[in-house]
Amino acid sequence: MNFALDAYLDELRPLIDVDCGTLTVSGIETVAGILTEKYQQLGWNIKQVDLGEAGCGLEVRNKPDAEQIDLMMVGHMDTVFPEGTVAERPMTFDDKCAYGPGVSDMKSGLLNVIYALRAIDEDVLDKLSICVCMNPDEEIGSTYSHGWLESVASEAKQVLVAEAARADGSLVKARKGMARYDIEFHGKAAHAGNEPENGRSAITEMAHWLLAINELTNFETGTTFNNGVVSGGAGANIVPDYAKIVVDIRFWDNREYEAMDEKLKSMTETPFTKDITVSISRAAHKPAMVPSDKTVNLMSVVEESGNELGIEINWKEVGGGSDANLTAAMGIPTLDGLGPIGGGFHSSDEYLDLSSIEPRINLLKTVICKLANA
């Protein structure tokens, strides 16, 4: 492959220099438009999927009429950054790295997939039916896109996700599951001076919950709870009739998580204080991605490819979730981290390791060729 870093960065820049945080639909549409053009040039079939408030997803296939998908690839078009970020810090680069919102999470991953596909001979590609799905809401737990992704995945034999490789070059074979809940407390307001005894404090009930939820954490099994956001109360002189917690749960063991889900729901039936009602709703859920026997086969294809290219392949189990969790939970062999190397995700320190771009395109290309010739 003739790889020109300058040309790559020229293609990357318009994908970075657009505010496209989740739900910033105009930016997502810009990114989708750029990607659509690139896949059109490849001659692939492109379907825009309407995902409501989140904007659109792209479903791109080389063989739109194939019954089964030999290889599904997944990537996301959104970032975690609010509007205005690009004006503050557009894409820049130095000798070693490129910087900017989403540079490694995961605009360069999306571009690496395209570069790998461009570099594969047509007669090799012709042996595989490939579907690339790009969603607009991964960073909020794929709330709008998971149904679509799962329905495409149900036809797929295996899945590769091109999120960035870890800073040390490792790929990802396991990811913790996650769930997010809104827990709301409704009490009764009363004047704090005149009749506090007639009030029922939603905040007091919430305080009991905060501590009880902390108690549920089990660092040994890795099921952990974080009371990440609390809100409530209208003024210091009013007994508060409303409060809310947003809880984030992470886990390796999907069954242990299901038990915790039941536990939280049952807790709402027995509030700690009288005359308080508690309601709970799950705002996001991604099951843990745990490798199966079939995943091990896919891993060995990646390892062989790495061997041939002189790229050391190491595997990591990581705490953060991705769309790989969704497909892995369906029992489909799934690996992640097939993008270039990067780090500092979700912060202004985010970087993309320039020297990793070409080798990781080659790695992805080689893996796809091996799957085609298998």
Query: Nearer to Zn ion by C-beta: 200 or 286?
Result: 286
- How many residues are given for the chain? 374
- Tell me the window of 84-92, 102-110, 203-211, 289-297 that interacts with Zn ion (CB under 5 A): 102-110
Alpha carbon 313 to chain centroid, angstroms = 22
Nearer to Zn ion, 106 or 276 (CB): 106
Rounded CA gap, 230 and 207, in Å?
A: 10
| Closest CB 280 distance from Zn ion, rounded Å | 28
Give the one residue of 106, 116, 329, 341 binding Zn ion; rule: CB under 5 A: 106
Q: Which residues pair with 342 in a beta bridge?
A: 352
CA distance 145 to 50: 9
As measured in angstroms, the least distance from the Cβ of 322 to Zn ion is 6
Residue closer to Zn ion (CB basis): 163 or 241: 163
Q: Which residue is nearest to Zn ion (CB)?
A: 105
CB of residue 353 vs Zn ion: minimum separation in angstroms?
Answer: 16
Region near Zn ion per CB under 5 A, out of 82-90, 100-108, 288-296, 297-305: 100-108
Pairwise CA distance, residues 307 & 362, whole Å: 12
Q: Which positions from 34 through 53 interact with Zn ion, judged by CB under 5 A?
A: none
Query: Which of these segments, 13-21, 101-109, 282-290, 312-320, binds Zn ion (CB under 5 A)?
Result: 101-109
Between 19 and 163, whose beta carbon lies closer to Zn ion? 163
Smallest gap from Cβ 170 to Zn ion, in A, equals 16
The footprint of Zn ion on residues 303-362 (CB under 5 A) is none
Binding mask 154-183 for Zn ion (x = CB under 5 A): ---------x--------------------
Q: How far apart are CA 275 and CA 212, in angstroms?
A: 19
Q: Compute the distance between CA of residue 198 and CA of residue 210 in angstroms, rounded to an integer.
A: 24
What number of chain residues touch Zn ion (CB under 5 A)? 3
**Nearer to Zn ion (CB atom), residue 163 or residue 205:** 163
Task: Return the closest-CA partner of residue 348 out of 64, 91, 8.
Answer: 91
* Nearest-approach distance from CB 74 to Zn ion, in angstroms: 10
Q: What does the alpha-carbon distance between residue 258 and residue 364 come to, in Å, rounded to a whole number?
A: 35
Amino acid identity, position 11: E
Task: Determine how β-strand 97-99 pairs with β-strand 351-353.
Answer: antiparallel
CB of 23 to Zn ion, least distance (A): 16
Nearer to Zn ion, 128 or 357 (CB): 357
DSSP H helices in 95-201 = 108-119, 122-125, 146-153
Judged by CB, which is closer to Zn ion: 240, or 342? 342
Give SS3 for 264.
Answer: helix
Using CB under 5 A as the binding rule, whether residue 149 contacts Zn ion is answered as no
Residues 264 and 59: their CA atoms lie apart, in Å, by 37
Q: Which two tokens stand for residue 164?
A: 């960035």
Q: Which is nearer to Zn ion, 106 or 298 (CB)?
A: 106
- Cα separation of 293 and 194, whole Å? 67
105 forms part of the interface with Zn ion (CB under 5 A) = yes
Half-sphere exposure of 247 (CA within 13 A, CB side): 26
Instruction: Tell the smallest beta-carbon distance from residue 101 to Zn ion (Å).
Output: 12
Residues that bind Zn ion (CB under 5 A): 105-106, 163
